[in-house]
Amino acid sequence: MRPLLSIVVVASCVIISCGTDGGAPKTGGGTTAETNLPTAPLPENTQKLSPPKPTKVNPFACATDDDCWTSCKYGAVNKDWYQDNVDPKSECKDGCASKGSDARCEDGECVTYLRGKRAEHCTKRKVE
């Protein structure tokens, strides 16, 4: 009966990849049986990449007020569009970004408010 028990133990050890350390299964390093992929962690200097910025942003699109920016020249615009397309040195000194102006997101578009009232002349202005 003992020889049969030894065969079962050896066969089990081969199936579950037992090491020479008393029959315990191997852990860490190597590969996993299910995926055959390395199990070692990534190096510490590995950087997570952020998704790329959209190549063409609607100049007026928004989801929240934080998506909007008040530009002197263009009025309320998408902040990402402004950063990618406008040279701040080309901006005017007064106009749509004067004191009391505010950019808000309404119905998915940036809108300019001046002293608490919607300012149509600074909303959806022509952009270059």
| Tens-digit pLDDT profile for residues 28-37 | 555 555 556 5
Residue 112 · residue 101 · CB < 8 Å = yes
| Tens-digit pLDDT profile for residues 71-104 | 989 999 999 999 999 888 888 877 888 888 999 9
| Tens-digit pLDDT profile for residues 6-48 | 444 444 444 445 555 555 555 555 555 555 655 666 566 655 5
Pair of tokens at residue 93: 């000194």
Burial 95-127 (b: 16+ CB within 10 A, else e): bbbeeebbbbbeeebbbbbbeeeebeebbbbeb
pTM above 0.75, yes or no: no
> Which pLDDT score is estimated for 89?
81
> Which pLDDT score is estimated for 6?
45
For residue 113, give every residue at least 6 positions away whose Cβ sits within 8 Å of its Cβ, in sequence order, or none.
Answer: 101, 102, 103, 104, 119
> Which pLDDT score is estimated for 30?
54
Is residue 107 over pLDDT 80?
Answer: yes
